[in-house]
Amino acid sequence: MDKGVDAGRTVRVGQREVFFSEVGSGPAVVLLHGGGPGANGQSNYSRNIEALAQRFRVIVPDMPGYGRSSKVIDQSDPFGDLARAIGGLLDELGVDSAHLVGNSYGGAAALRLAMDRPEKVGRMILMGPGGVGSTRALPTKGLQELLAYYPGSGPSREKITRFIREYLVFDGAAVPDELIELRFQASIDPEVIANPPLRRPSGPLALRTLWRMDFTRDSRLREVAHPTLVIWGADDKVNRPAGGRMLADAMPNCDLYLAADTGHWVQWERAGLFNTLAVAFLEA
C-alpha cells in the first residue's frame, strides 16, 4: 500500500457494499481498475496513487465483483451497472463531480457514467477502455484468454501467469512473481468463483447485452463532451489500439496518445509517462 493511503472503508451503495481507500486533497480523482482475474484498485494503480495524491484527492474503489466489494453485477448490463455503482459511491461521499481515470473495464465504467450522469464527471483519462468497437470484430486472443479463466478447467496459476505475462503487458518478464501470486489468490475467492464478474453474455438477451456493451453503437457517445485523454498501448493484445481512433473520431474533446512498446496495462508498464501525462491533463 502506498504511503499515506488510508486502510480503506466500505460504504453501502444501493444493495451492495463498495470498498475504497483514499489519499491526498484537492479535486477528486477516482481510479477505476480493470477486469482481469484478481484485480483490485490498489494493485492496479500501485505505481500511480502516490504521484496523483500530491495534487488530488485520490479515491480508489474496488469495483463490484472484485476485491473487498460485493460480488454482484447485473450481467444484463454490466457497464451500466458498474457506472451506477461508481456514481452511487460519489453520491455517498458527497462528491458532486470527479475526474475519472479508467483502465479497460474501469474505462468502460467511466465512459458509461459520463453518458448516464454527465454532471458527475469532470475530465476522463481512459487506458485501453473496454466497450469500444467490441461487436465490430472477433474478440482478441487476449480477451478470449481473459474470458476463459473461470470456465472449463477453472482458475489456475498457469492460466493467470499466461494471461498476465503474454497478454496483459508488453514485457512479461517485468512482472514480479509476487504480483501474479497476489492476483491468483484473489481470483480464487469462493464468492468470485461462484459468480465471476467478467463473463461472456449468454441466454436469450445476450445479443442485446453485447450491443449495450459496445459504445460505438450508442448515439450518446458523440455527445460526451468531457475533456478526455485516451492512452492506448500500441501492443495491447486485449483491446485493440484501433479503438483509440474510434473514440477520437466520435468524441468532440478527445485527445489520443499511443504508447510504444506497451500493452494493456499502460499505467503500470509506463508509470512515469502515465503519471506525467495524467497530472498535466487533469490540471489543464
Are 230 and 241 within 8 A, CB to CB? no
Catalytic residue check, 264: yes
Which of these is catalytic: 33, 99, 226, 264? 264
The pTM of the full predicted model, rounded to 2 decimals, is 0.96
Are 46 and 60 within 8 A, CB to CB? no
| pLDDT at residue 202, rounded to an integer | 84
Three-state DSSP class for 123? strand
Are 61 and 19 within 8 A, CB to CB? yes
Grid cell, residue 112, equals 458509461
Three-state DSSP class for 18? strand
> Over its length of 284 residues, how does the chain's per-residue pLDDT go in tens digits?
445 677 899 999 999 999 999 999 999 999 999 999 999 999 999 999 999 999 999 999 999 999 999 999 999 999 999 999 999 999 999 999 999 999 999 999 999 999 999 999 999 999 999 999 999 999 999 999 999 999 999 999 999 999 999 999 999 999 999 999 999 999 999 999 999 998 888 888 888 889 899 999 999 999 999 999 999 999 999 999 999 999 999 999 999 999 999 999 999 999 999 999 999 999 98
